[in-house]
Chain A
């Protein structure tokens, strides 16, 4: 059964880079269509950040496109997110997830609360 787990610093200083990694177990990262990141600010709704195709191509949210990078590490069966120049507005629970070819999302990781401090 596919399982995903986010890891990375939970506290990031304003203007620095948020870095998260999603470790995938129970299946190969090369065998699914897409891998994605979704975030949820405290008390707010879900926001799609971006996705990476198992072949390496990416799609990013237009509102975050200038600041994000998503990449695969097939040797470690994981994928990662980098969000540059963070502000307090980037404080959120960040989820990694598997995304099907028809954009069904799941399973999800348990989520990682990342706080941006000044």
Chain B
């Protein structure tokens, strides 16, 4: 299967660490990407190629990869981090873009 599976929701208190996982067979041989989407806005890339952070993205966002699972970690969560987060990759053939179902991060 080329599906990417994310938990629907994650809740965390301010200052704590949030971890959002994304699982799928394609992740063993395709790069993963993470996007943050706030209400009414287009998604913004926050992690590319599994672990890299685009310029302008705060250092509290990091990505890691292990086998068929990639993880977005937000250290020292802030209220402004409350958003939907999507993982994305390509399918195993490398021809099609695949998105995870998205995870709603709630900052308590």
Contact call A45/B86, Cβ cutoff below 8 A: yes
Chain B residues 21 to 51 lying within 8 A of chain A, measured CB to CB, are 30-31, 33, 35, 37, 42-45, 48-49
Contact call A102/B31, Cβ cutoff below 8 A: yes
Contact call A108/B43, Cβ cutoff below 8 A: yes
A-B contact count (CB 8 A): 56
Residue in B42, B95, B102 whose beta carbon sits within 8 Å of that of A45 in the complex: B102
Residue in B42, B88, B101, B102 whose beta carbon sits within 8 Å of that of A103 in the complex: B88
- Chain A residue with minimal CB distance to B43? A108
Contact call A48/B96, Cβ cutoff below 8 A: yes
* A104 sits at the interface (CB 8 A): yes
- Chain B residue with minimal CB distance to A51? B97
Chain A residues 32 to 65 lying within 8 A of chain B, measured CB to CB, are 36, 38, 45-48, 51, 59, 61-62
Residue in A59, A102, A104, A111 whose beta carbon sits within 8 Å of that of B96 in the complex: A59
Which residues on B are within 8 Å of A, measured CB to CB? 30-31, 33, 35, 37, 42-45, 48-49, 86, 88-90, 95-102
Instruction: Contacts A46-B37, A99-B97, A104-B31 known; list 16 others, CB within 8 Å.
Output: A38-B97, A45-B100, A45-B101, A45-B102, A46-B88, A46-B99, A47-B99, A102-B49, A103-B31, A103-B33, A103-B88, A104-B33, A104-B45, A105-B43, A106-B44, A106-B45
When A and B form their complex, which 3 residue pairs have the shortest distance between CB atoms, in order from nearest?
A48-B97, A108-B42, A45-B102
Which residues on A are within 8 Å of B, measured CB to CB? 36, 38, 45-48, 51, 59, 61-62, 95, 99, 102-106, 108-111
29 inter-chain pairs at a CB distance below 8 angstroms, sorted by A residue, are A36-B97, A45-B102, A46-B37, A46-B43, A46-B86, A46-B99, A46-B102, A47-B99, A48-B96, A48-B97, A48-B99, A59-B95, A95-B43, A99-B97, A102-B49, A103-B30, A103-B33, A103-B88, A103-B89, A103-B90, A104-B31, A104-B33, A104-B45, A104-B48, A105-B43, A105-B45, A105-B97, A106-B44, A108-B43
